[in-house]
Structure 1
Amino acid sequence: MPARLSEWNLVRIEDGELALNHRVTPYDLNSSLFTDYAHKLRTVWLPEGKVAGYDVEEVFDFPVGTVISKTFYYPTQRTGEYLLEQDRTAQRLAEGFRLDAVRLVETRLLVHREEGWVALPYVWNAEQSDAVLKRTGDAQQATLVKVGGEVQDFTYIVPNANQCAGCHATNATTREIQPIGPKARHLNRDFVYSHGQANQIAAWAEAGLLSGVPEAGAVPRNAVWDNQAESLEARARAYLDINCAHCHNRVGPADTSGLLLEHDAPRGPSLGLCKLPIAAGKGTGGRAFGIVPGNPNQSIFTYRMASTDPSIMMPELGRSLSHQEGTKLISDWIAAMGDGCV
């Protein structure tokens, strides 16, 4: 467990820019987990000569030795406040990832060892020259400047190693840590590489990182949650899939809730429609059902998404702020459903 991120040789700082080292491949997801509006640089590295196995539904079968990284950062003002802007990580990499315009906060690693995956959180120093392993996590005070100049103070939480494992142990029985994002439906999109734009799954196959890839038309794809050109239904389901389904799945830590939020969960009580909560306590906000079709203001979903109270909010880890745009998306989806519960 190296004490410094630089010992992994994934990235380097050179002439005021962050750059990826040899055979470190960047990637992005169609829809991603909300983390206090942080931008994210995701990468994967496989041992030379090793290849991941394609899976149509689950996380790809990565070989022992794989290192997956996710670096959280914010664009900044000269005075240090974080700026709420559209994530343009791929463009930054292609044009030169200038450190004088951003603040690197943390890098989380998932390392596939013989005994399974291990989660390691690294926190960047003030000079942005390296990041230090902090298995106990961290808390940093920050200010976010929104569009229009509205300012919001918040505490950015770097999860400890146990919290990382808590989210990534997507099977409540085995409790084995697994990656969450590298699935076909999340990765099936274009990425702007330094040599040009290409579909990520096709690029991984061409680079020898991924085997067993079917024809392009057979690869599933989740919607981009904020792409207005896609249907409201597809965008809402994609948002719930990436933000909630790592717990709310058939074998996940929240399986006893009876709430299934994966992309293919059938519409009905298991998706929250007219479903009574189980052991939600004050998390219900006095609302009777998870989703009241046609009435987001009476739905538990939107109440918990909008809250920043740790005893109420969902997801319960990984954020201090509410995702206003995500909450509106789910509110619009519920409002379009119909006529309430009998």
Structure 2
Amino acid sequence: MKKFNFFICLFALVLISCGDDDDAMVPQCVNPINLEESNITFDSVALSWDDLNNTNSFTVEYGLSGFEQGSGTTINSTENSLLLTGLTANTTYDYYVQTSCDVSNVSLWSEVKSFTTLASPVIPQFLTNLSDLNLFSGNLADLTPTPYAFEYELSTPLFSDYAHKHRFIALPIGTTLGYEDDGLPIFPDNTVIAKTFFYNNDERNLSLGRKIIETRLLIKIEGSWETADYKWNDAQTDAVLDFDGSVVPITWIDAEGDINNLNYEIPSNTDCFTCHQTFNEITPIGPRLRTLNFVKNGVNQLQQFIDENYITGISSSDNVSALPVWTDDSYTLEQRARAYFDIQCAHCHIKGGFCETQSPLRLDFESSFDDSKIFDQRFSIQSRISNFIPGFSMPFIGTTTIHDEGVELLQAYLDTL
């Protein structure tokens, strides 16, 4: 019996020894290394990795960041690379890769790697809902521009019944603005210029929220500009295309604590054309390089745009003139008043503007004092800016109330003539 047990043990040792030898003859399948992502878009990514096994069978598992392995999406590949498509924009994903050397010999999973898809590209079309254009990221009412856009301000802005304005320019991917002169830059086709109008509920406490009224758009389509307006809903969740214009009652508390009420007028598309046309062609008004060329928060805004490659063809903002800031006392009274005239009035009172044949005034900043005819028309100017009478007051459209601070500036200037 002891001999029998001995032979059984000996036989078992032989089997175990043979098994060990067989395992030693099969190379271990090594997991992929050096995982990399490239050509990331809003809905796709190219993955690649290094294989130390000289094989052609891999499995990729991916899912939303933090997903539990085994619950993700798996795809097999016969190459050490794979193009993932159909992804969600502006989303972070995790992924793992495994090598299969043969049916019974697979590697461990690789280390986890992550990537984030880009934001959805802007749709340069006048779709029904503003949200469909991908101009904003996240909650629409936060007014966070798409990553493909940059915000800007004007040295002297247009007055619009004390409304606040949020401005940005969205450029097609891979393009920039081009430098031509101190006026408007060269805009590539499919550029979108957006301006959103809103009122803070209480200027003394911004945490009380705001009322967004409208978002005006200019889109350059096949070399020509087109305009449209989007009216925001009461829930502040979206805005709807509106070519006809409307009136929105507004109430807000100003910085002095006074309650203000007005009927805000959203312009019709015809109204937009009245101001945004030169020689019967639609054109932007605000973002001229000279109106962008000023110091904001300690930094020259135009130079920042140049440095960040939003504008090419120019290396220094010093090569561009600067429209004076109308509230800056370091400029002369005449410079401030002329800058105010330029941004408020010159789009109509200029050669080729809406009022070219109706008035001799030429109110662009570049016109000389004599050519401007301000002196000849000073009494008419004084009368039209000091009273609000529809069809008579200036500006002709776009306001329903007097800009007290602006009138004070212009009156002070006219009194010196």
TM-score of the aligned structures, taking structure 1 as reference length:
0.79
Q: Displacement, 1:191?
A: 4.1
CA deviations over 1:193-215 (Å, ceiling 9, x no partner): xxxx6322222222322122253
The 5 A counterparts of 1:63-82 are: 63-77=188-202
Q: Which residue of 2 aligns with 1:140?
A: 248
Distance 2:296 2:241 in 1: 30
Work out which of the residue numbers 329, 336, 340 in structure 1 matches 2:416: 336
Q: Which residue of 1 aligns with 2:12?
A: none
Work out which of the residue numbers 388, 399, 408 in structure 2 matches 1:308: 388
Distance 2:404 2:140 in 1: 37
TM-score of the aligned structures, taking structure 2 as reference length:
0.66
Q: Which residue of 1 aligns with 2:262?
A: 154
**What's the secondary structure of 1:6's corresponding residue?**
helix
- 1:188 paired with 2:293, answer yes
When the two structures are aligned, how many residues end up with a matched partner?
291
The 5 A counterparts of 1:98-247 are: 100-169=208-277, 171-172=278-279, 175-191=280-296, 198-247=299-348
Contact 2:388 2:401 in 1 (8 A): yes
CA deviations over 1:89-122 (Å, ceiling 9, x no partner): xxxxxxxxx8852111110000000151111101
Work out which of the residue numbers 316, 320, 324 in structure 1 matches 2:400: 320
Following TM superposition, where does structure 1 have runs of at least 4 consecutive aligned residues deviating by more than 3 angstroms?
12-18, 144-152
Distance 2:289 2:391 in 1: 33
CA distance 1:270–1:134, shift in 2 (3 Å): same
Distance 2:293 2:139 in 1: 31
CA radius of gyration, larger in: 2
Q: Which runs of 5+ in 1 are unaligned?
A: 78-82, 86-97, 276-289, 292-298, 338-342
CA distance 1:99–1:64, shift in 2 (3 Å): farther
Distance 1:215 1:306 in 2: 40
Work out which of the residue numbers 170, 191, 196 in structure 2 matches 1:45: 170
- 1:33 paired with 2:138, answer no
CA deviations over 1:231-257 (Å, ceiling 9, x no partner): 211110100000000011122121122
CA deviations over 1:40-89 (Å, ceiling 9, x no partner): 10000111122221132321110101000001111103xxxxx499xxxx
Q: Which runs of 5+ in 2 are unaligned?
A: 1-125
Q: Which amino acid aligns with 1:63?
A: P
Distance 1:112 1:302 in 2: 37
CA distance 1:205–1:149, shift in 2 (3 Å): closer
**What's the secondary structure of 2:264's corresponding residue?**
strand
CA deviations over 1:212-240 (Å, ceiling 9, x no partner): 22533221101111122322111101000
Distance 2:409 2:331 in 1: 12
Distance 1:326 1:84 in 2: 22
- 1:262 paired with 2:364, answer yes
Distance 1:312 1:15 in 2: 38
Distance 2:285 2:218 in 1: 10
Contact 1:55 1:183 in 2 (8 A): no
Moved more, 304-313 or 33-42: 304-313
**What's the secondary structure of 1:233's corresponding residue?**
helix
Moved more, 6-15 or 128-137: 6-15
CA deviations over 1:5-56 (Å, ceiling 9, x no partner): 1111111343973322212100000001100001110000111122221132
Distance 1:17 1:250 in 2: 39
Q: Which residue of 1 aligns with 2:55?
A: none
Distance 1:327 1:20 in 2: 34
Q: Which residue of 2 aligns with 1:54?
A: 179
CA distance 1:53–1:260, shift in 2 (3 Å): same
Aligned-residue Cα RMSD (Å) equals 2.1
Q: Displacement, 1:189?
A: 1.8
The 5 A counterparts of 1:85-100 are: 100=208
Q: Which residue of 1 aligns with 2:351?
A: 250
Distance 2:247 2:140 in 1: 29
Distance 1:24 1:271 in 2: 39
Distance 2:354 2:139 in 1: 42
Contact 1:13 1:129 in 2 (8 A): no
Distance 2:369 2:414 in 1: 12
Q: Which amino acid aligns with 1:116?
A: S
CA distance 1:271–1:55, shift in 2 (3 Å): farther
Higher relative contact order (Cα pairs below 8 Å, separated by 6+ residues): 1
Q: Percent identity?
A: 33
Distance 1:108 1:158 in 2: 9
